[in-house]
Amino acid sequence: MPENYDLDERTQTLFRHLIHSYIKDGQPVGSKNLAKISGIDVSSATIRNIMANLEHLGLVNSPHKSAGRVPTQAGYRFFIDSLLEVSDLGKSVEQTLTDTFSVDKTSNDLIQSASSILSQMTQLTGLISVSRPAKIDVRYIEFMKLSERRILVIMVVNSDKVHNKVIQVDREYTALELTEAAKLLSRYLIGSDFSSAKAKLLQEIKKHKDDVNTIMESVLDVMGAVCGSDQDALMTSGESNLLQFAELSDINKLRDIFAIFNQKRDLLHILEGCSGASGVQIFIGSESGYSVLNDCSVIGAPYSIGNQVVGVLGVIGPTRIAYEKIIPAVSLTARLLSSALNSQK
């Protein structure tokens, strides 16, 4: 439940204008400027008293004496929970999003498009997690000879995901041998749970010569890459967009933020916190649980296939972002991605 600060209407109006002004230009908001942009007919002294009260409540602070006020993390939280009025994205933006997910694309392409389009629309960093399937449905296995001792392994899994791997073998194989190897592997893998099929296949490998084992073991490697990890995958887009924000421009701060992008585990953990939400979830500053993101906000929403959440998409940026525009953009993108993925079932 949002904390109730019991602010009167005039104070709420001034606070809302302070938030919008700071989000727009990143500069502390002084009393005279706030009186001007709010249009409220009160003296600067009255506004200073109101700002002093907001500071006492912990909703704003002064970075320097006489420098005006800026919203705190608690201030952003109160604003989002109690005062935020979500904007209409506009027909052109909604149409762009709809077109992104209406074209004929594979599941992987749709997921990558979601991250990219969010980054482009918000000018922030787009994030999307992709759950590994508990069961992988192998639809097709083929071996293609590239040269005397190089073979391309081709597998189609879960309807449309194609995985390839080039392997080196110890001798030349005939087309018939490669066909028979594919048939043997298909018998164990197609339509089976990978973990149980792997145990049976390893026993089968022991019955064959070492040169055939090379092919079979390579396929196990490919399968392991597809579903051998329990950790979700994470894709990001537009990391360089964060360079435009002065509050994130410190080289040490940027280094730490980009390190968390590369490491991925912590971001995945944050997105996991959105997976049970019915809509958009917002982590402001320290709410993420990671000190490196104390000056950042993460906005995420789950996307689903059927009734099962299969991942979370969203954006990360400074706390000073246009929440009224970004929240509906994340929400609509999640709905459209879910719809597109469900149409492929």
- With a cut of 80, say whether residue 288 has pLDDT above it: yes
Angle at 320 between CA 316 and CA 326, to 5 degrees: 55
Q: Which residues lie closer than 8 Å to 251 by C-beta, 6 or more apart?
A: none
305 and 240 together in one domain = yes
Cβ contact 277:267 at 8 Å: no
Token pair, residue 185, equals 């592997």
**Considering 170, 200, 227, which residue would you say is the last residue of a domain?**
227
157 and 216 together in one domain = yes
Token pair, residue 260, equals 């968390």
pLDDT-wise least confident of 35-44, 82-91, 201-210, 286-295: 201-210
241 and 317 together in one domain = yes
Say how far apart CA 137 and CA 117 lie, in whole Å.
Answer: 29
At 90, which amino acid appears? G
14 and 61 together in one domain = yes
Query: In this structure, is residue 75 part of a structural domain?
Result: yes
65 and 119 together in one domain = no
Query: In this structure, is residue 257 part of a structural domain?
Result: yes
Residue 151 sits in a domain whose CATH number is 3.30.390
Q: How far is CA 176 from CA 24, 91, 183, in A?
A: 67, 58, 11
pLDDT confidence tier of residue 192, bands split at 50, 70 and 90: low
- Mean pLDDT across 76-105: 88
- With a cut of 80, say whether residue 209 has pLDDT above it: no
Is pTM beyond 0.85 here?
Answer: no
pLDDT confidence tier of residue 44, bands split at 50, 70 and 90: confident
Length of the chain in terms of residues written: 345
- Mean pLDDT across 180-189: 78
pLDDT at 230: 40
213 and 242 together in one domain = no
Percent of the chain with pLDDT over 90: 38
210 and 265 together in one domain = no
Token pair, residue 300, equals 């995420």
Among 127, 149, 310, residue whose Cα is nearest residue 215: 149
SS (HEC) of 254-287:
HHHHHHHHHHCHHHHHHHHCCCCCCCCEEEEHHH
SS (HEC) of 99-154:
HHHHCCCCHHHHHHHHHHHHHHHHCCEEEEEECCCCCCCEEEEEEEEEECCEEEEE
- With a cut of 70, say whether residue 226 has pLDDT above it: no
CA-based torsion, 79, 81, 83, 86: positive or negative = positive
pLDDT at 224: 55
- With a cut of 80, say whether residue 28 has pLDDT above it: yes
Query: In this structure, is residue 3 part of a structural domain?
Result: no
pLDDT at 275: 83
Question: Which has more pLDDT, 223 or 99?
Answer: 99
Q: How many helices (H) and strands (E) does the chain have?
A: 12, 10
Query: In this structure, is residue 2 part of a structural domain?
Result: no
pLDDT-wise least confident of 30-39, 179-188, 227-236: 227-236
Say how far apart CA 93 and CA 31 lie, in whole Å.
Answer: 36
325 and 195 together in one domain = no
pLDDT tens per residue, range 57-69: 999 998 876 678 9
- With a cut of 60, say whether residue 212 has pLDDT above it: no
pLDDT tens per residue, range 120-177: 999 999 999 886 554 566 778 888 888 887 888 887 776 666 777 777 777 787 888 8
36 and 53 together in one domain = yes
Domain count, the chain: 3
Q: In the predicted model, what is the mean pLDDT of the chain?
A: 83
Most confident of 132-146, 184-198, 199-213, 315-329: 315-329
Neighbours of 172 (CB within 10 A): 11
169 and 199 together in one domain = yes
Residue 32 sits in a domain whose CATH number is 1.10.10.10
Cβ contact 182:141 at 8 Å: yes
R_g of the chain computed on alpha carbons? 27
47 and 18 together in one domain = yes
pLDDT at 123: 95
**Considering 197, 227, 257, which residue would you say is the last residue of a domain?**
227
- With a cut of 50, say whether residue 228 has pLDDT above it: no
**Domain that includes residue 76, residue range:** 9-83
257 and 312 together in one domain = yes
Query: In this structure, is residue 123 part of a structural domain?
Result: yes
pLDDT at 23: 94
**Considering 50, 67, 83, which residue would you say is the last residue of a domain?**
83
